[in-house]
Amino acid sequence: MALRRRRFAERRVAKGYSQEEFAEALMVAASTVVRWESGRATPQPHQRPKIASLLGATLSELEGLLFEEQPAETAVLPDTPPLLHGDDDDMKRRDVLGLLAVTGALVTLPGSDEAPRGHTVAALLETGEELHRSLWQVFTLSDSKPTVFPAVRKQLDVLTKGLAEARTAADRARLCTMTADLYQLAGELFFDANRYTDAAQCYTLAANAAHAGGDHDLWACAMTRHAYVELYARRAPAAQPLLAVASRIARRGDSALSTRHWVAVVQAQVCAAMGDIDGCARALDEAEKVHSLDGHSHNGGWLRFDGSRLPEERGACYLQLGRPDLAEDVLTTALAQPLSLRRRAAVLSDLAVLGAHRGDVDQVVQYAEVVLGLADRSNSGFIGKKLDGLRGRLAPLMPNGRVSDLDHRIAALSRTA
């Protein structure tokens, strides 16, 4: 065993757990505990409170057990979802969070008209919005989302300087909306890496900046993304008030945009998570009205909802509500459409869950194998999270060797370990 987790393993033994018993208490594979203790993987943030409780440790003490000092030649990097490639990943992440705090403060400070517009402001107002559209396009089309992170960090630095130089109310308003736009993209990057707290911080700041810029649709989208974080963190009740406010804000926005319909889609998912069939149906019906809008109802950036996602969203809701009979047709329809890598992985994962519900080993393995391949291509924490959800449904099928092997392969993914 590597020195890195020696004290972690000793603490487990002292508490009377074998590796198998510890894994069972955490609902993970025994091989996952082995990887944690050997330093080849690190528990995800959402797993750590339960681990700390089992070990009789505080979260701070657990951090010490997981990241104890060791000789440089034997060091093993934490196996967590990377936002950037390199040894100083956490430092760069904190750097970006610091820039978020600075720009967030500048958004709230009053401007001044005592000096002429700075060069940074002029450049941002001329090219910034187009650059942001390009960044969103790269993010949307890229299989590996972290590739966008360095450019987002650089642009945050530029916005910091621009907000500090802004003199007129009109300039500040435009810069605030640009800042809200970029905050949401940063949040998407953190969300894809399963860093939900960081993502929520980005969306909160985005909402404040959009409000300062006077853009209701941008503001509503930031609130909806924040709600989505709560939904994926399995905190559906916490998402409800965020969405209620987002819906009110969206009604004050541009009626030609699809903002209010996207809010309704996420409301449907929250209703499904809470077992509210009628509420889910009403929200989905509201979302379907997006098809009455013309082709300019979204901007391809912070607002991308055009109705094409509705079959997969409806299928996921039906599955959540325990109606696999209704889910299969819409999920199959969704799979026949052109989908991004992440969306395809999500639909395939749901179809695998549907197979698990039926006890159909062939369907589970067929779809999950494809999702595992997509996960390897993308290094996406979002896809890893979907596979984690599938693992939770595999217990009745574990006597089958193919399913057992599948479970171990999912556990071995760095973003789900």
Reply yes or no on whether the pLDDT at 381 is more than 50: yes
Are residues 380 and 266 part of one domain? Answer: no
Maximum Cα–Cα distance across the chain: 74
Reply yes or no on whether the pLDDT at 76 is more than 50: no
pLDDT for position 103 = 82
> Does 314 reside within a domain?
no
> Does 198 reside within a domain?
yes
pLDDT for position 229 = 93
> Does 80 reside within a domain?
no
Residue whose entry in the numeric block shows the structure tokens 């499904």: 272
Is the Cβ–Cβ distance between 309 and 343 less than 8 Å? yes
Looking at 191, 213, 235, the residue that finishes a domain is 213
Burial classification of residue 167, based on how many CB atoms lie within 10 Å of its CB (0-12 exposed, 13-18 middle, 19 or more buried)? middle
pLDDT for position 88 = 53
Give CA angle at 53 (413, 71), nearest 5°: 60
Query: What CATH number has the domain bearing residue 27?
Result: 1.10.260.40
User: What's the chain's average pLDDT?
Assistant: 85
Question: Which of 78, 70, 71 lies closest to 6 in space, CA to CA?
Answer: 70
Question: How many Å apart are CA 64 and CA 56, to the nearest integer?
Answer: 13
Reply yes or no on whether the pLDDT at 3 is more than 60: no
pLDDT for position 352 = 94
Residue whose entry in the numeric block shows the structure tokens 């960044």: 135
Question: Which of 243, 215, 218 lies closest to 229 in space, CA to CA?
Answer: 243
What's the one-letter identity of residue 80?
T
Is the Cβ–Cβ distance between 183 and 101 less than 8 Å? no
Ranges 9-18, 153-162, 249-258, most confident: 249-258
Q: Please count the other Cβ atoms lying within 10 Å of the Cβ belonging to residue 85.
A: 12
Is the Cβ–Cβ distance between 62 and 52 less than 8 Å? yes
> Does 47 reside within a domain?
yes
Question: How many Å apart are CA 248 and CA 210, to the nearest integer?
Answer: 15
Dump pLDDT digits (tens) for 217-241. 999 999 999 999 999 888 899 999 9
Contacts of 364 (CB under 8 A, 6+ apart): 352, 355, 356, 390, 394, 397, 403, 406
- Name the pTM for this structure: 0.70
Query: Based on the structure, what is the number of domains in the chain?
Result: 4
Burial classification of residue 119, based on how many CB atoms lie within 10 Å of its CB (0-12 exposed, 13-18 middle, 19 or more buried)? exposed
Residue whose entry in the numeric block shows the structure tokens 């853009």: 215
Looking at 47, 74, 101, the residue that finishes a domain is 74
Reply yes or no on whether the pLDDT at 84 is more than 50: no
Are residues 199 and 91 part of one domain? Answer: yes
Is the Cβ–Cβ distance between 180 and 215 less than 8 Å? yes
> Does 318 reside within a domain?
no
pLDDT for position 149 = 87
Looking at 153, 183, 213, the residue that finishes a domain is 213
Are residues 123 and 194 part of one domain? Answer: yes
Question: How many Å apart are CA 125 and CA 137, to the nearest integer?
Answer: 20
Are residues 114 and 57 part of one domain? Answer: no
pLDDT for position 259 = 97
Is the Cβ–Cβ distance between 173 and 213 less than 8 Å? yes
Question: Which of 205, 302, 186, 311 lies closest to 253 in space, CA to CA?
Answer: 302
pLDDT for position 106 = 79
- Over residues 199-210, the mean pLDDT reads 94
pLDDT over 70, % of the chain: 89
Are residues 225 and 209 part of one domain? Answer: no
Reply yes or no on whether the pLDDT at 80 is more than 50: no
> Does 291 reside within a domain?
yes
Reply yes or no on whether the pLDDT at 380 is more than 90: no
Domain coverage including residue 336: 327-411
Q: Which residues of 296-331 are buried (b: 16+ CB within 10 A; e: fewer)?
A: ebbeebbbebbbebbbbbbbbbbbbbeebeebbebb
Reply yes or no on whether the pLDDT at 73 is more than 70: no
pLDDT for position 4 = 57
Question: Which of 38, 28, 43 lies closest to 407 in space, CA to CA?
Answer: 28
Are residues 111 and 194 part of one domain? Answer: yes
Burial classification of residue 400, based on how many CB atoms lie within 10 Å of its CB (0-12 exposed, 13-18 middle, 19 or more buried)? middle
Question: Which of 364, 363, 366, 315 lies closest to 339 in space, CA to CA?
Answer: 315
Are residues 201 and 92 part of one domain? Answer: yes
Is the Cβ–Cβ distance between 36 and 51 less than 8 Å? no
Reply yes or no on whether the pLDDT at 83 is more than 60: no
Are residues 109 and 198 part of one domain? Answer: yes
Are residues 179 and 97 part of one domain? Answer: yes
More confident residue, 156 or 93: 156
Is the Cβ–Cβ distance between 406 and 390 less than 8 Å? no
Residue 155: left if φ>0, alpha if ψ -120 to 50, beta else—which one? alpha
Are residues 195 and 105 part of one domain? Answer: yes
> Does 81 reside within a domain?
no
Are residues 31 and 130 part of one domain? Answer: no
With cut-offs at 50, 70 and 90, classify the pLDDT of residue 287: very high
- Over residues 349-372, the mean pLDDT reads 93
Question: How many Å apart are CA 105 and CA 241, to the nearest integer?
Answer: 25
Question: How many Å apart are CA 377 and CA 394, to the nearest integer?
Answer: 24
Dump pLDDT digits (tens) for 146-187. 888 889 989 998 998 898 888 888 999 999 999 999 999 999
> Does 8 reside within a domain?
yes
Are residues 379 and 331 part of one domain? Answer: yes
